[in-house]
Homo-oligomer: A and B are copies of this chain.
Amino acid sequence: MSTAEDTAGGEAQAWGEVTPDAARRLLIAAVEAFAERGYHATTTRDIAGRAGMSPAALYIHYKTKEELLHRISRIGHEKALEILRTAARQEGTARERLAGAVSSFVRWHAGGRTTARVVQYELDSLGPDAREEILALRRQCDAEVRAIIEDGVAAGEFDVLDVKGTTLAVLSLCIDVARWFNVDGPWTPDEVGALYADLVLRMVGDGGAAARR
C-alpha cells in the first residue's frame, strides 16, 4: 500500500501513455500549475517554464492551453473510472465491493491530489464539447457506484432511503477529499481511505459496520 502513488513524482508515472517525452513533461507541468493556481490563473509561460522550455514549445505539442486541460481531464477521468470499475467487478459481497471502491477511490484523490484537483474542479473551464465528453465519463462513475449500492439493497445487506441521493453523497464525499487533503496533514491516504470506507458503509445502513471494529 501507499507506494509511489502518493508522491508528486509518483503521480507522474500515471502519464506514461503520453508521448513524446516533451509532450509529457509539458502535461505534468500543466497539472502542477493548474492544481496550484487554477486554470485561468496559470499562464502558458508558467507551464513552459516548469517544463524547462520556451513558451512557444507548448504549441508544437498542443493546439491551445485548453487542449492541455482537456487531455488531463480525460486521462484523469478514465483513471478514476477504471478504479471504480475494478472495485465494482471484484468478487465478494456488496459490502466488500463498496468498501473497496471507496477506499481506493479516496486513496487516489488523496495521494494524487494534484491531479485529482484539476480533474474534479477545473471542469467548468473546458468548452461545451469537451465538457460534455467528460461529463459522460462522470456519469459512468456514478453508475458503477450506484450498481454496487443497488446490489446491496437487493441482497438485503444495505438499508438505503434514496439510492440516487446516497450514491451522489458517497461520490461527493470521496471527490471533496481532493479539496481538503493535505500531504503534510495528520493522515496518510490509506488512513483516510479506511476511515471513509467505514463511514460510507454506515451511510448505506450496513448494520455491521460499527460493530465489526
Q: What is the interface of chain A, defined by CB distance below 8 A to chain B?
A: 37-38, 40-41, 121, 124-125, 159, 161-162, 164-166, 168-169, 172-173, 175-177, 179-180, 186-187, 192, 195-196, 198-199, 202-203, 205, 210, 213
A196/B177 contact (C-beta < 8 A), A38-B40, A202-B202 known: no
* Chain B residue, CB-CB nearest to A171: B180
A169/B38 contact (C-beta < 8 A), A205-B210, A210-B205 known: no
Interface contact B41-A125, CB-CB below 8 Å: yes
Interface contact B166-A199, CB-CB below 8 Å: yes
A38/B124 contact (C-beta < 8 A), A176-B176, A192-B165, A195-B169 known: yes
- 18 CB contacts below 8 A, A to B, read A38-B40, A38-B125, A121-B179, A161-B198, A161-B213, A162-B195, A164-B186, A166-B195, A166-B199, A169-B195, A169-B196, A169-B199, A172-B176, A172-B177, A172-B179, A176-B179, A202-B202, A202-B203
Additional 11 contacts, C-beta under 8 A, given A172-B173, A202-B202: A38-B125, A41-B125, A159-B210, A166-B195, A169-B199, A173-B173, A173-B176, A175-B176, A176-B176, A202-B203, A203-B203
Partner of A40, one of B41, B166, B199: B41
Residues in chain B near residue A202, CB distance under 8 A:
202-203, 205
* Chain B residue, CB-CB nearest to A185: B168
Residues in chain B near residue A213, CB distance under 8 A:
161
CA distance A125 to B205 in the complex (A): 39
* Chain B residue, CB-CB nearest to A172: B176
* Chain B residue, CB-CB nearest to A209: B205
* Chain B residue, CB-CB nearest to A166: B199
Interface contact B203-A199, CB-CB below 8 Å: yes
CA distance A115 to B87 in the complex (A): 37
Residues in chain B near residue A168, CB distance under 8 A:
180
Residues in chain B near residue A121, CB distance under 8 A:
121, 179
Residues in chain B near residue A203, CB distance under 8 A:
199, 202-203
